[in-house]
Amino acid sequence: MSDTTDFYELLGVKRNASDDDLKKAYRAKARELHPDANPDDPTAEERFKRVSVAYEVLRDPEKRQRYDQFGAAAFANGGGGGGADFGFGGGLGDIFEAFFGGAGSPFGGGRSRGPAGPPRGQDMEVVADLEFEHAVFGTETEVTLRQPVACDSCNSTGAAPGTSASTCSTCEGTGEVRQIRNSLLGQMVTSAPCGRCRGMGMTIETPCPTCRGEGRRTEERTYTFTVPAGVDTGSGIRLTGRGAAGPRGGPNGNLIVHIRVKAHPRFERHGIDLVHVLDISMAQAALGVHLPFETLDGSEDLVIPPGSQNGRVFRLRGRGVPQLNGRGRGDLIVQINVVIPTGMSKAEDEILRRFADERGEMVSPPDKSLLGKIKSAFR
């Protein structure tokens, strides 16, 4: 049989094989390659393992779909399907252990498990609200939350002062119990967390009265941390080891801080660029103007040349948002909005009409109606 990682070829079936086809092919291969039927063939056991893994994947509709989409890499290193290497010389042992019970496999080669030990604490999440400028330039801030922390009364052991935990008599300190089940491959061993010690391998006869045997208690904690320049709403900052304390002295989880940035009254953020719409008058657009313009870095001289049209964009380079975890900054983009005057006085109306007449432009005649006169009287 060729040394191939294609599961369909290992079983000798087509890719559209039915469940019955897979079962028949596997049984035939299993009888042919079983180590008991090939005592003088040192490669029989390895080949039998390959076929067994192929069948276990393809017989499950969900696993088969993942395999058809990603190949065997979908089951390597946690099943991410992201290009992980899967070769029968390396990754097969881990996959075979996951399917057939590891150290309890009738074929051996699995990894034995030592004492379970206290589990790691949970990761926790919290939201930090930031001012717009603090998100742009970075800052130091703090968050406060209630979380499990190590119990001082029992030094996180969970046992009352003067007592100690003892090895679980059910699992003998491994934190798991094993069961034997029958399958097509014969007797298979499965494992599950020990119910007596909850998978910790240790039992406590006299629990700590403060934490009730947990080795941790809930308390309010405040953490100060640095916010890098350039964060935005949705950014996450991981504070390693600042999450929940693990039970009975287990390591702390992590604290994930989700950033939420307040809106700015003048600027909108587009990636690492800032955008502002600037209202100017018709005369300023036509004749040009020098305006002091307040950026996040201070005042800048914004030069709008004569004849600037509505919507024209001016770019102040390097006045935007710093690139998060990188170099350089975005730009500040100023878009002008030419505001057309309304409610003009009679003198302003006459000036504009003379301007239009000078340029030979057609405009509406003055409003001579009674309503127009009444409107003019209240201007």
118-174 residue pLDDT tens: 889 999 999 999 999 999 999 999 999 999 999 999 999 999 999 998 998 888 888
Q: What is the pLDDT of residue 329?
A: 95
Q: Say which residue, 91 or 52, is predicted with more confidence.
A: 52
Query: Taking 50 as the threshold, does the pLDDT of residue 91 lie above it?
Result: no
Residue 186's pLDDT is 60
In angstroms, rounded to a whole number, what is the distance separating the alpha carbons of residues 170 and 200?
Answer: 11
Residues 323, 230 contacting (CB under 8 angstroms)? yes
Residue 162 carries which side chain, given as an amino acid letter?
Answer: G
CB 124 within 8 A of CB 145: yes
- Predicted local confidence at residue 72, as pLDDT: 66
Mean pLDDT of the chain: 83
The pair of structure tokens assigned to 257 is: 């801080």
Q: What DSSP state is assigned to residue 62?
A: H
Question: Using CA atoms, how far apart are residues 201 and 343, in angstroms rounded to an integer?
Answer: 84
Determine the Cα–Cα distance for residues 68 and 86; give it in Å rounded to an integer: 15
Radius of gyration of the chain (CA): 37
Across residues 340-354, what is the average pLDDT?
92
The per-type count for the chain, helices as H runs and strands as E runs, is 9, 15
**What was the pLDDT predicted at 94?**
45
pLDDT at 334 over 50: yes
Question: Is the distance from CB of 157 to CB of 248 less than 8 angstroms?
Answer: yes
More confident residue, 4 or 192: 192
